[in-house]
Amino acid sequence: MEVPKNQASKQLSDGDEQSNSARVACSRDHLEFLDVVMDVRTQRVSRSGRPIKMRPVEFRLLQYFLEHPQQVFSRAELLSSIWGQHLHVVSRTVDVHVGRLRKALNKNGQPNCIRTVHSRGYSLDAQD
């Protein structure tokens, strides 16, 4: 199901509207942002049509980002959403897994689609 353009188009942090609004598609079993596609049911991810292997934590992290594109999440928010409240995990763990996710997504030289927002957290975004 394609998200209406007015919902898919977001504002960049500097206030300028994106010239090419990011393609966002979302359904229960299929998530898509730009050239990143996830099939939740089969646990498969691809970027630019190429399959990507990733660990379960990185898969859940990417799924969360795909469900909330262009939103900034702090380490604490990601810890709570991905690892839950009942597991003791340090906040730097998020950095390690975001790094692994970036490495998997950018393996074939694609531009980085996970943005670090200084003093705030991380966001799945179209890079300039």
Please tell me the pTM assigned to this model.
0.77
* Token pair belonging to 41: 């049911």
H or E segment and range at residue 50: strand 50-52
Instruction: Give the per-residue pLDDT at 43.
Output: 95
CATH number at residue 120: 1.10.10.10
Beta bridge partners of 38: 31, 45
- Tell me whether residue 15 is in a domain: no
Q: How many domains does the chain have?
A: 1
Q: What is the pLDDT along the chain (128 residues), one digit of tens a residue?
A: 334 333 333 333 333 333 334 556 667 789 999 999 999 999 999 999 999 999 999 999 999 999 999 999 999 999 999 988 767 788 889 999 999 999 999 988 888 999 999 999 999 997 75
- Tell me whether residue 36 is in a domain: yes
Domain range enclosing 33: 5-10+22-124
Instruction: Give the per-residue pLDDT at 6.
Output: 37
Instruction: Give the per-residue pLDDT at 97.
Output: 96
Contact (CB, 8 A) for 62 and 39: no
* Token pair belonging to 64: 């969360």
- Tell me whether residue 113 is in a domain: yes
Instruction: Give the per-residue pLDDT at 17.
Output: 38
- Tell me whether residue 16 is in a domain: no
Beta bridge partners of 97: none
- Tell me whether residue 56 is in a domain: yes
Total number of residues shown for the chain: 128
- Tell me whether residue 17 is in a domain: no
- Tell me whether residue 27 is in a domain: yes
- CA–CA distance, 6 with 10 (Å, rounded to integer): 8
Which bin fits 5, alpha (ψ -120 to 50), beta or left (φ > 0)? Answer: alpha
- The angle subtended at Cα 74 by Cα 96 and Cα 41, nearest 5°, is 70
